[in-house]
Amino acid sequence: MSVELIIKSSQDEVTIAILHSGKLVELHKEKSNNNFSVGDIYLGKVKKIMPGLNATFVNVGYERDAFLHYLDLGAKFKSFNKYTKGVTGGKFNRPDLDFKLEPEIEKTGKIEETLKSNQNVLVQISKEPISTKGPRLSSEISLAGRYLVLVPFSDKVSVSQKIKNTTEKDRLRRLIESIKPKGFGVIVRTVAQDKKVADLHADMTGLTKRWKQCYDELKNAHAPKKVLGEINRTSSLLRDILNKDFSKIHVDDKELYDELKIYLQEISPEKEKIVQYFEGNVSIFENFGIEKQIKTSFGKNVTLKTGIYLIIEHTEALHVIDVNSGKRGKNKDKTQEENALEVNLEAAEEVARQLRLRDMGGIVVVDFIDLKEAANRKLLHTKMKEFMKDDRAKHKIQPVSKFGFTQITRQKVLVQCVKNGF
């Protein structure tokens, strides 16, 4: 299966499409010059304490104050606070964390006992501003790389649960323990499996350099100020999903083309040649048939070539997808049960695509055509899991009931990547 990344750039935003064998499976949009992207680290200033919400509003330079809940401070908040005061006050003259850590804060603590108005605080954007709301913040800061996630003020090394091989997990854990800097924890990402020592060491070196950049900016910072920016959405996608299946990256902006070439030289030099600058008489999305796919894939009704169609409804509590056989002709040589199974299997593949394409999060209920035989329901469940194996979002798929219902819980990709770096 070939994977292509098509990048359309305009004055206001960059739109990124991921194609699997020519079929659109993911679509991402990023505003140009977005200064409050998920992952950005700011020196903010505490404004209004809200004891009733056990939260506070923080000025990070956005037109509306950002929101920071007590539970998002993180257990190591006092150590982060000590570090912030030490660096901005000139007491710490090195970026390393080789000093005595402060006690962890209680999960049941109160915001007014931990923070004070006008206090400087080091925070990371966990949710971008939307509508009338400012950004959502966290003080559990982490830096994500290609293979690793660096976690300040932690000595723990965690390996992705998706790596099942015990021997490989032990190898990665021992290796990272030997190269990680003191005072930092590390999350080993799934893509680190079977990677060479040199690759992991280079990623660790890159992350520690980014932490030093944060330190250098923090030394002379006056809140509110961004002290470290996350890489752009295009580069972060490459960081998270680039693998041997990638065949081409097409981009219609020369500046972005040059940036991607440089970034690929850093993380995967052998892939640099797959980046191609698009120059054409039509838009890049029209050239690759993406415009047409967008028009047919985002409506309430989604019709497949065989005539099968899905009805997708969104409510406050959940998403509902209804499977219909539509104009698909029945095979007279097969039973009603066999025809129903064929329809369900074809629909299941499209359901998996739609979940990724729309980045649908929360509870999703799929109403398949009824199957009487338990073996067929089990097969449908197995195939559904298979179709969703490439979905980067954390998800669970319940077995199909005898009435044809299956429940899927799925976490949005953006939220998940911010939380744990996978």
> Is the four-CA dihedral 362, 367, 371, 372 of positive or negative sign?
positive
More confident residue, 422 or 75: 75
Cα–Cα distance between 303 and 350 in angstroms, integer? 10
Query: What is the reported pLDDT for 1?
Result: 67
Query: What is the reported pLDDT for 240?
Result: 67
Q: What is the average pLDDT value for the chain, to the nearest integer?
A: 88
Determine the distance from the C-alpha atom of residue 1 to the mean position of all C-alpha atoms in its chain, rounded to a whole number.
22
Phi, psi at 112, each rounded to 5°: -70, -15
Strand segments, DSSP code E, in 72-218 are 120-127, 136-138, 143-144, 148-152, 157-159, 184-188
Phi, psi at 198, each rounded to 5°: -60, -40
Q: Tokens standing for 235? A: 């580069």
Phi, psi at 318, each rounded to 5°: -165, 175
Q: Tokens standing for 361? A: 């999060």
Amino acid at 27: L
Q: Is 268 helix (H, G, I), strand (E, B) or coil?
A: coil
Q: How far is CA 356 from CA 365, 380, 389, in A?
A: 15, 19, 11
- Residue 415 pLDDT > 60: no
Q: Is 254 helix (H, G, I), strand (E, B) or coil?
A: helix
Q: Average pLDDT of 11-28?
A: 87
3-state secondary structure 180-200: CCCCEEEEECHHHCCCCHHHH
- For residue range 317-344, list pLDDT tens digits in order: 899 999 999 888 677 778 999 999 999 9
Least confident piece of the model among 23-37, 54-68, 351-365, 379-393: 23-37
